[in-house]
Amino acid sequence: MSAENRKSQILIFVVLLLSIILVTVSCIGFFSGSQSSTHTIYIGLNDKDTYTQLISTEDAEQIVHTICLQYVDGYTMYQADGYWKDADGKPTKENTLVCVFVGTDKQTVRIIADEVIDALNQNAVLIVSEENNAEFYSGI
């Protein structure tokens, strides 16, 4: 057997071995249920027509809460301050609600976003999605 054939066989073996390892690791993650999606919706509370907040933060929170619980069993909501420049370049602060959904599919999150946009008279909301590992840990 020539040295060139030997190198080709070794290369094929290494590629095959790496492929098997990659598939095995992917399957372990898939079957363990640890792979998850997290979707975060950022909801500014200024009305799209007046650029001012017409619905109180507390009332908006209740509206969003009611919408979310129609589609998911749990989520996290908190208040934040959003900052952006308006059409004239003027810095603007906007009260913002942030909703975090772990293990919910993107289609459901978009349905929630559609209802929130309508209920709070928004132009749009920001949805950030990421793949991660998540678990509900209950201790030892």
Quote the tokens at residue 102. 């772990």
Q: What is the mean pLDDT of each run of 10 residues along the chain (140 residues)?
A: 64 54 48 76 96 96 98 96 89 95 96 98 96 85
pTM for the structure as a whole = 0.73
Angle ∠(103,104,107) on CA atoms, nearest 5: 150
Phi, then psi, of 102 in degrees rounded to 5: -110, 125
CB-based contact 77:97 (threshold 8 Å): yes
